[in-house]
Amino acid sequence: MTQNEAPTTPACYSCGVQAEPGRRPMIFTAMSLEGQHPALTHRNPPTVELGECSECRSRHELASLLVTGKPNGRDGTVTTDRLGAALDALAILGKPMPKQGESIGPLLRHLTTPGSLARWAARYAPTWSRGAKADERNAEAWAHLSEEQRRALRDGYSRVLAERVAASAPPVALTPPPADEGKGSPVEGGCLFCGVPAVAMEAQRVVARGGVEQARADAWTPTSADATVLGGHSSGRLRGHLCPECADAKEALGSVGASAIERAYTRHMRATGRGDDLPSLGPGEHLSGLSAWAVTARAGNLEAWQHASLRHRA
Ligand SMILES: [Zn+2]
Ligand SMILES: [Zn+2]
Higher pLDDT, 208 or 19: 19
Residue 223 in this model has a pLDDT that exceeds 60: yes
Reported as a pLDDT band with limits 50, 70 and 90, residue 1 is very low
SS (H, E, C) 279-309: CCCCCCCEEECCCCHHHCCCCCCCCCCCCCC
Question: Tell me: the pLDDT tens digits for 232-245?
Answer: 988 899 999 999 99
Reported as a pLDDT band with limits 50, 70 and 90, residue 210 is confident
- The phi, psi pair for 285, rounded to 5°, reads -85, 150
- The phi, psi pair for 181, rounded to 5°, reads -60, 145
Residue 3 in this model has a pLDDT that exceeds 60: no
At residue 41, the pLDDT reads 57
At residue 40, the pLDDT reads 64
* Nearest to 16, CA basis, from 150, 139, 117: 139
Reported as a pLDDT band with limits 50, 70 and 90, residue 115 is very high
Provide the 10 A C-beta neighbour count for residue 64. 22
At residue 38, the pLDDT reads 65
Ligand nearest to the CA of 219: 2
Rounded to the nearest angstrom, the gap between the alpha carbon of residue 29 and the centroid of all alpha carbons in its chain is: 29
**CA 66–ligand 1 middle distance (angstroms):** 19
Provide the 10 A C-beta neighbour count for residue 104. 19
**CA 244–ligand 2 middle distance (angstroms):** 7
Provide the 10 A C-beta neighbour count for residue 129. 14
Residue 302 in this model has a pLDDT that exceeds 90: no
210 CB-near residues (< 8 Å, 6+ apart): none
Question: Tell me: the pLDDT tens digits for 278-296?
Answer: 887 777 777 777 899 999 8
Ligand nearest to the CA of 292: 2
Cα-only R_g, the chain:
28
Report the residue count for the chain: 314
**CA 226–ligand 1 middle distance (angstroms):** 62
130-149: average pLDDT: 95
At residue 143, the pLDDT reads 97
Ligand nearest to the CA of 308: 2
The continuous run of DSSP H or E covering 47 comes out as strand 47-50
Q: Which residues partner with 3 through β-bridges?
A: 137
**CA 208–ligand 2 middle distance (angstroms):** 24
**CA 105–ligand 2 middle distance (angstroms):** 30
Contact indicator for 218, 241 with CB cutoff of 8 Å: no
Residue 15 in this model has a pLDDT that exceeds 50: yes
197-207: average pLDDT: 92
Residue 309 in this model has a pLDDT that exceeds 80: no
Q: What type of residue sits at position 20?
A: E
133-145: average pLDDT: 95
Question: Tell me: the pLDDT tens digits for 64-96?
Answer: 999 988 876 566 678 899 999 999 999 999 999
Contact indicator for 45, 29 with CB cutoff of 8 Å: yes
* Nearest to 26, CA basis, from 45, 6, 49: 49
Residue 39 in this model has a pLDDT that exceeds 70: no
Q: Give residues whose Cβ lies within 5 Å of ion ligand 2.
A: 191, 193-194, 243, 246
At residue 72, the pLDDT reads 64
Residue 28 in this model has a pLDDT that exceeds 90: yes
Residue 95 and residue 106: Cα distance in Å, rounded? 14
**CA 277–ligand 1 middle distance (angstroms):** 65
Number of H helices, E strands in the chain: 10, 13
Burial of 203 (0-12, 13-18, 19+ CB in 10 A): buried
Residue 314's alpha-carbon distances to 25, 163, 280, in angstroms, are: 75, 52, 11
